[in-house]
A and B are shown apart, each in its own frame.
Chain A
Amino acid sequence: MLQRDYTTSQLDVLEAEAIHIMREVAAEFERPCLLFSGGKDSIVMLRLAEKAFWPAAIPFPLMHVDTGHNFKEVIEFRDRRSVELGARLIVASVQDSIDQGRVVEETGRRASRNRLQTTTLLDAIEEHEFDAVFGGARRDEEKARAKERVFSFRDDFGQWDPKNQRPELWSLYNARIRKGEHIRVFPLSNWTELDVWDYIRREGIEIPSIYFAHTRKVFERDGMLLPDSEVVQRGDDEPLFEAVVRYRTVGDMTCTGAVQSPAATVEEIIEEIAATRITERGATRADDRSSEAAMEDRKREGYF
């Protein structure tokens, strides 16, 4: 008799783990929500949520923290995808936080709303009384993220205490919190950038067009290509030029760089990423470059 060896491919293992995590949250929390930015990680997370609860609808709303500086292609995608899924989308706006005097807009050439998002996010979590918030962060992205638990406890100020995390054994997640506290949940913790792309290919998942090669007017700053846009302040010493680029991550236009690339299909992107020698955040994110512990500091304050 032929012996079946019951091996499971890495994507199947990662998918099963993520689905388990999502069901655990739906079962143990009263008011979860899923952060959906229209970026590739949150798109994959949304597909996993569809799978976890099918044939029922996703049992929690989606939320996007909108800086007002997002790429229009991504915002369109976000809105369309939410409607297709019949999901409720909550948009928490950084502009509103500014208008209400909760935060003060940065000024100058390098002004960014990146850090302001934390206040908007925490205010929205409090307003909607969310007790669990799914994020698409992966541990391979950044060295502080590499340290984070799948269920990451936040105190009533939304803060992360990296020196005092709850032990997390096997796949037994501790969901106990007091009112006002919440848990950030990261179902993609063990996925790498390449896993995400392999999964997008395997599942035939649609993603916003800016991930693929396109011609765009850009300028160079600190070795990064920033887009021509009214929300990005450009100096006279920063000339515009046209280039064939694509985005490896999508965030705020003011701090997300494009990479020069001819990759026009998911297959070509996978080839490119398998050969690349620079991490996705190193290639594209000004927000991580400000200091060695930039991410850890933002995360302590309550950032994604």
Chain B
Amino acid sequence: MDILRFATAGSVDDGKSTLIGRLLYDSKAIFEDQLEAVERTSRDRGTEYTDLSLLTDGLRAEREQGITIDVAYRYFATPRRKFIIADTPGHIQYTRNMVTGASTADLAIILIDARKGVLEQSRRHAFLTSLLRVPHLVLAVNKMDLVDYSQERFEEIREEFTAFASKLNVSDLTFIPISALNGDNVVSRSQNTPWYLGTSLLHHLENVHIASDRNLTDVRFPVQYVIRPQRANDHAFHDYRGYAGQVAGGVLKPGDEVVHLPSGLTTRIASIDTFDGPVEEAFPPMSVTLRFEDDIDISRGDMIARPNNQPHVAQELEAMVCWMADGIKLTPRSKLSIKHTTRTARALVRDLHYRLDVNTLHRDEEATSLGLNEIGRVSLRITQPLFVDDYARNRQTGGFILVDEATNGTVGAGMVLDAS
């Protein structure tokens, strides 16, 4: 059984949390005590129906305000797949938490309230999912019960969204009319939408093909930790020196010729070790330990690749940055700490080329700063070379975070462009 990670997105009150509650409930992933607690709270508040959003809105403040503030992670499994759900907030103030939830997603469900149509926040989230290269997108037109399950309304929204999406990088887009509250087309196809010929949402989640979303072509192994046993009486491993990490791309095999960066020295993989014994190959997302035939000085933050397929060694970076700080702004000359794979360095913002208006995708080249939840294209200079790929090619070796050195807060998420 494999794992599908998906995130919900969309504007406030479009029904994201209710949908997750519905999926969990209908797939029998809700336990009796959880349901009882939710029923009790709904009753206490005078809600006539069981408010399924309470299943994921777990914080006191969220339940008091009836909104989602931070991502909730929930889990369920069907005989076909295990699902990890990130239920993200729709409120613009909490966009950074939406970005947190979407960064690891294989699929995003953007909800739209059928009465309201495509809103600014729907466009913002669609843009962010495409920027984060979430490979599969579902547009769920929700609250169909409130528009009499009208096919016409569904088609209108589909057209409007398709027009917007044509300006984004969306490779796989599916439209489904649903009612999260009543369960139409969530787990099984609904009789209320005879005109809809597609599958239910759950059926789609169970069957969407994700195996080929990983990069199995470009060998990338960021060295995370050097393993040198120092048990005094352990002669068997006295000279052991292994390089531990999680494979970020490609397939590695013993005997393969590899290159070490930054040195540029080549060697061969002597063995791929794990606690359970050596393995014949390693690929994403395996965590393994490599040993090499030659003695090379290798430390955390270094990269292993293939001599004929190397990442870019860059001290100057072009990137899209999503700024996530309250208060502090990103401006030219900002100095920040940058973490990319296992390497941490300092970054200087050399230039802010433009700020993006997520509604129109207009580039404002006059912009002089990025504030909370704003997105723009920047040039960075890094104190040490980083080993990067285009984010579009590899999310692991193309993504980085920016940390403010005064507050230690994570203030930016970056995606490498035009690595060359």
Contact = CB atoms under 8 A, between A and B. Distances in A.
Interface string A145-174: 011000000000000001101111111101
B403 A53 contact: no
Contact of B59 (A147, A170, A189): A147
Contacts, number: 185
Contacts of A86: 231
A147 B61 CA distance: 12
A210 to B, nearest CB: 22
Q: Binding site of A, secondary structure by majority: helix, strand, loop or mixed?
A: loop
A12 B286 CA distance: 8
Interface in A80-119: 86
B227 A55 contact: yes
A232 interface: no
A131 interface: no
B71 A147 contact: yes
B195 interface: no
A5 interface: yes
Q: Which residue, B37, B82, B287, B324, has most C-beta atoms of chain A within 10 A?
A: B287
Given A162-B70, A163-B61, A10 B409 contact: no
Interface in B47-91: 55-56, 58-61, 63, 69-75, 77, 82, 84
A143 B2 contact: no
A214 B289 CA distance: 42
A266 to B, nearest CB: 19
A176 interface: yes
Contacts of A174: 339, 401, 403, 408, 410
Interface in A273-290: 276-279, 282-283
Given A163-B61, A167-B324, A57 B413 contact: no
B99 interface: yes
Nearest to B28: A277
A103 B273 CA distance: 48
A53 B285 CA distance: 17
B334 interface: no
Contacts of A15: 287
Given A19-B287, A27-B300, A163 B70 contact: yes
Interface in B198-216: 211, 214, 216
B296 interface: no
Contacts of B37: 292
A52 B244 CA distance: 8
A38 to B, nearest CB: 21
Contacts of A278: 31-33
A282 B287 contact: no
A23 B225 contact: yes
Interface string B399-411: 1110100001110
Contacts of B228: 56
Contacts of A16: 246, 285-287
A169 B33 contact: no
B33 A283 contact: yes
Interface residues of A, number: 62
Interface string A61-80: 00000000000000000000
A277 B31 contact: yes
A9 B274 CA distance: 17
A193 to B, nearest CB: 10
B73 A190 contact: yes
B70 A165 contact: yes
B1 A10 contact: yes
A276 B29 CA distance: 10
A136 B77 CA distance: 21
A247 to B, nearest CB: 17
21 contacts: A10-B1, A12-B286, A24-B224, A27-B300, A53-B227, A55-B227, A56-B230, A142-B58, A143-B72, A163-B69, A165-B70, A166-B410, A167-B96, A167-B97, A171-B246, A190-B73, A278-B31, A279-B34, A282-B34, A292-B60, A296-B60
Given A165-B70, A167-B324, A177-B408, 14 more contacts: A16-B246, A23-B224, A54-B227, A54-B273, A54-B275, A55-B242, A146-B58, A162-B61, A170-B104, A174-B403, A189-B73, A282-B33, A282-B34, A292-B41
Interface of B: 1-3, 31-34, 37, 41, 55-56, 58-61, 63, 69-75, 77, 82, 84, 96-97, 99-100, 103-104, 211, 214, 216, 224-225, 227-231, 234, 236-237, 240, 242, 244-246, 251, 273-276, 283, 285-287, 289, 300, 324, 337, 339-340, 342, 395-396, 399-401, 403, 408-410, 413
